[in-house]
Amino acid sequence: MSEVKPYPPRVLVTKIGLDGHDRGSRIVASYLRDAGMEVIYTNPWQELDSVVKLAMEEDVDVIGISSLATDHLLVPKLMRSLSDAGLSHIRVIVGGIVPDLDEMELKKAGVSRVFHPGSTREDIIDSVNQLAIQALEARPSF
């Protein structure tokens, strides 16, 4: 009878690999929260398997991975693991210092967007909102 109501996007903001600087991801998390999203925040140094289980349990629409060092090189492997877990509707974005060549690799692996230093708050928020809608549309029904 009733139509599906709009609900806040759910976003997992996390860091993988060895780099422990999480100032950037904290800032992005608070941007998204202030834009009305539900943000699940984790410690840095997550293993890929942990990210997959977190995303599954929390049933997020978007995963934001922050990478200052070369940790983004692990992301293609994460994309495969998500797909293996039946979570390929989840959109993944990467933020941080990512060289152009690597960015191409990430996109090829299925990453939706790469945000470089200096990306604006509005750009990040708009993009995550858009991607959350895409994830909702791609979501398997119960």
Residue 48 touching other proteins (CB under 8 A): no
Q: With CB under 8 A as the contact rule, which of the stretches 16-24, 36-44, 91-99, 116-124 interacts with other proteins?
A: 36-44
What is the CB neighbour count within 10 angstroms for residue 19?
Answer: 17
Cβ partners under 8 Å of residue 76, min gap 6: 105, 106, 108, 109
Which is nearer to other proteins, 39 or 93 (by Cβ)? 39
Q: With CB under 8 A as the contact rule, which of the stretches 42-50, 70-78, 91-99, 102-110 interacts with other proteins?
A: 42-50
What is the closest distance, in whole angstroms, from the C-beta atom of residue 85 to other proteins in the complex? 8
Mapped onto helix, strand or coil, the DSSP state of residue 124 is helix
Note whether 35 and 27 are within 8 A (CB): no
Residue 53 touching other proteins (CB under 8 A): yes
Residue 118 touching other proteins (CB under 8 A): no
- Residue of the chain from 18, 20, 34, 116 that contacts other proteins (CB under 8 A): 34
Amino acid identity for residue 3 in this structure: E
Alpha carbon distance 6, 95 (integer Å): 27
Residue 2 touching other proteins (CB under 8 A): yes
Q: For 46, which DSSP code? A: B
Between the alpha carbon of residue 104 and those of residues 45, 77, 85, 86, 92, the distances in Å are: 24, 15, 24, 24, 14
Binding positions for other proteins, rule: CB under 8 A: 1-2, 4-5, 7-8, 29-30, 32-43, 47, 49-50, 53-54, 56-59, 85-86, 140-142
